[in-house]
Every structure is written in structure tokens, then in C-alpha cells.
Amino acid sequence: MYETIAFYTFAISTTILFLITVMSKNVLYAMTALASGMVMISGFFFLLGADFLGVVQLIVYVGAVMALYGFAMMFFDATRDIKEKHQNPALVFLLGGLMALMFVVIFSAPIIGDNVQALYPIVEGVGNAQAVGMVLFTKYLVPFEVAALMLLVAMIAGIILAGKKMDYSLTTSEAADEEINVEEKLQADIEREKGEA
């Protein structure tokens, strides 16, 4: 009974929150709704007995990723409403609706899982985190290490991409930019002098 109530609560809240994320014109609202939605998602993981995953969701997504978005947003003008030209909004809703309908149709059919043998069954008598650790560091050790490497690469990439001096364009030659900057400064100086005069 509690499970049912919890499920519907989480389901309705995530749906609404994500709809806000997708529809909102304000980046801050969208981001906030997304973060809240992530928290609600972790609720499902707890419901499904995947405690460790729920915690990871909270820490990585809500903690790290959303913080990253938050920092990134500081580079952009977040207070301004986003103006988007929507050429054919009807088509978008139609496609989205149709896709949802399809998924509902597919998943309403009962899943037949009699013949499925669990490859890595949940070990009885140990906590979820422990069980996850046992599988993760035995069967999934190599993917785990690769993921670690990938995260490292991503970190370096992020630093390099975002950490360059903000005044310089990465895509054009720096020397040319330098010249432009000098000219601009000169222009600005001339104008200032004119103003003073």
C-alpha cells in the first residue's frame, strides 16, 4: 500500500517536474525542476531496493552534475528568458505524444520472464551496497576501470575547454584575435578621448 502511494507520488511529481524542465522558458526554473526531478527519481531506486544506486543518483546527479550546470550557468546570462522560435510545435507534441503512447502500448503487455535466469542474483543476507560492490568489482571490474578512465578524460577535457582565457576565441587564430583586440582598444581609446574632449 505504501509502495503504491509512494510510486504514484513520485511518478506524478517527476512527470510534472520534468515537464517543467522541458517547457520552461527560464533556465533557472528548468534547472531547479530538473534537480528536483532527479531527487524524485532516486526515490524510485529506493523503492526498487537499489539503495546504492539511489545514493549515487543523489550524489552524482543532484550533487555533482547539477552543481556543474549551476557553475556553467554563471557563464551565461541566466536571468534572461530564453526566446525560441518554434516552427511547428504541433509536430513536436504529436511526436512526443505518439512516442509515449507507443511505450505505454508496448509496456502494458505483461512481461514474460519465466525462462530468464538471473546472471548475477541479489545475494541474500547482505545489504544492497555490499551486493553491488561484489558484482561491480568482480564481473564488471573492467568496465568500471574504463568508466574511471573516461571520467578522467572528461574532467581534463572540461578543464581545457572551459579553462582557457575567456577573452580569446579557440576557433580562430589567437594572433588575429590579438590584433583585433588591439584595434578595439585603440578605437575605444580614441572614442574616450573624444568624449573627454
Partner 1 sequence: MLEIGVNHYLILSGILFSIGFMGVLRRKNLLMLFFATEVMLNAVNIAFAAIGNYYGDLSGQMFAFFVIAVAASEVAVGLGLLIVLYKKYGSLDLDVISSMKG
Partner 2 sequence: METLVYIALFSPFVGSLFAGLLFGNSPRKMFTGWVASALIFVTFVSSVTLAYHVATVGAIHVQMMDWISAGDLSIPFGFVIDQISVTMMVVVSLVSTIVHIYATGYMDHDKSYNRFFAYLSAFVFAMMILIMSDNFAGLFIGWEGVGVCSWLLVGFWYHKADRPFEENPSISPSWAANEAFIMNRVADLGMLVGIFLIYWNIGSLQYDVVFDAMPHLADGILVSIAIALFIGAMGKSAQFPLHTWLTDAMEGPTPVSALIHAATMVTAGVFLVIRANPLYSLEAVHGVSMFIASLGTFVAFYAATMALIARDIKRIVALSTLSQLGYMFAAAGLGAYWIALFHLAAHAFFKALLFLGAGNVMHAMDDELDIFKMGGLKNAMRGSYIYMGIASFALAGLPIMAGFYSKDAIIETAFNEGTYIIWGMLVITAGMTAFYSFRQVFFSFHGEKRYEALGFHPHDMYKYVLIAMAPLAALAISFGWFMGYYKDFIYGLNETVQYEMSHTTHHWAWLLGSIVIALALTGIFLAWKKYAGEGENAWKRDEKFEASFIYKLLENQYYVPKFYDQFIVQPYTIASAKFWEFDKKTVDGTVDDLGKACLNIGDTSRGMQNGNLSSYLNWMGVGAMIIVIIAVISSVIG
- Contacts to partner 1 from residues 176-195, by CB under 8 A: none
Kindly tell me which residue out of 19, 59, 68, 95 binds partner 2, with binding defined by CB under 8 A: 95
Which grid coordinates are listed for 59?
550524489
Residue 60: name the closest of 174, 134, 147, 137 by CA: 147
DSSP at 44? H
Contact set for partner 1, span 95-124 (CB under 8 A): 95-97, 99-100, 102-104, 106-108, 110-111, 113, 116, 118-122
From 64, 92, 154, 159, residue interacting with partner 2 (rule: CB under 8 A): 92
Nearer CB in complex with partner 1: 71/192: 71
Q: How far is CA 110 from CA 1, 46, 52, 183, in A?
A: 21, 23, 28, 70
194 binds, among partner 1, partner 2, none (CB under 5 to 8 A by kind): none
Task: Report which DSSP code applies to 120.
Answer: S
DSSP 13-27: HHHHHHHHHHH-S-H
Question: Binding residue for partner 2 (CB under 8 A) from 1, 90, 106, 118?
Answer: 106
- Catalog residues that contact partner 2 under the rule CB under 8 A: 87, 91-92, 95, 98-99, 102-103, 105-106
